[in-house]
Amino acid sequence: MNKPEPFDFRSPHGINRVEHRSRCWNKITVRHVVQHLNPGRVWHDLSSKHTTVAIVLDQTGGYCEPRLNVNRPTPRCRYDAGHTVFIPADMSIWGYSDSIKSTRDLRLHFDLDTLPKVLGEDLNYSKATAPVLMLYDERVTNCAALLAEECISSLPENRMYGESLTMALMAALFASHEASNRAVNSGLARWQLRRVLEFLEAHLTEDTGLDELAQLVGLSQSQFARAFKVSTGLPPYQWCLHNRVKRAQAMLLTGSDSLADIAIQNGFADQSHFTKTFRRVTGATPANWKRVHRS
């Protein structure tokens, strides 16, 4: 896993304090940013030496918007949070706000040559070159909110989950309409599914990446994730999570290991992480599930 790029915050005016936490998946630096602002008008240059996507998740107070010219408002019909900005590398687009106390956003910084590796033939190159100022897209916002949670989480990074979320966000922004509307019956070939499942069974408790699985069968991440879900009924990350829980259930019923030991043996960070995940998947804590099923 690559390290996040240093935070390059350009030409700030009226910003009191900035807090940020960063992770890196798919060679994409993902940064959760909270800005505490002074009263009145505030602005800064959103550009970076890398291509940038910024999604405003929350705003407190007035309004904020991206501007091509800091003194020229952007035409818009909505003033709530949730909009996405796409900024080509080193192109100055200003983040402007008025009477806002704080904003919270997610920013992704990457090189353009990352996109073909993630999206493959799904990529629409024209979407990856022209700036976008105000895009409200629920798919993008949902992915951004989940990535923000991962950035600030105290749990160890989960490579496949982070790669899956960044891939899904990139697909929502830059995939072609043909990819979005592709027939749902295009699953993995039998040899592809067999190879992937054998690999996953052998490495179920390890921190396997989505990119690693896609390379096994010669597909991009987006193509692989879509085909895997058609073939198994679950996205790759959820399949791994559910099968880790199944393996833990077998150990709960047949062994005498402690919950802490079962957690570690099945790839969870600790007992707390295991219990939360187990409950989310099964609806019960490991102890309650064991009590019911052993009886």
Domain ranges of the chain: 10-160, 182-233, 239-294
Same CATH topology for 10-160 and 239-294?
no
Domain 10-160: what homologous superfamily? Jelly Rolls (2.60.120.10)
**Averaged pLDDT in 10-residue chunks for the chain of 295 residues:** 73 93 94 95 94 97 94 94 96 95 96 93 92 96 97 83 96 83 72 96 92 95 94 94 94 89 90 91 92 83
First to last CA, the chain: 44
Position 183 scores a pLDDT of: 47
Position 256 scores a pLDDT of: 83
Other residues' Cβ atoms within 10 Å of the Cβ of residue 179 = 18
| Residues 239-277: tens digit of each pLDDT | 999 999 999 999 999 878 899 999 999 988 889 989 999
Rounded-to-integer distance, Cα 209 and Cα 146, Å: 18
Bridge-based pairing state of the strands 41-45 and 15-25: unpaired
Domain 239-294: what homologous superfamily? Homeodomain-like (1.10.10.60)
The pTM for the full model equals: 0.90
Position 158 scores a pLDDT of: 83
Position 155 scores a pLDDT of: 75
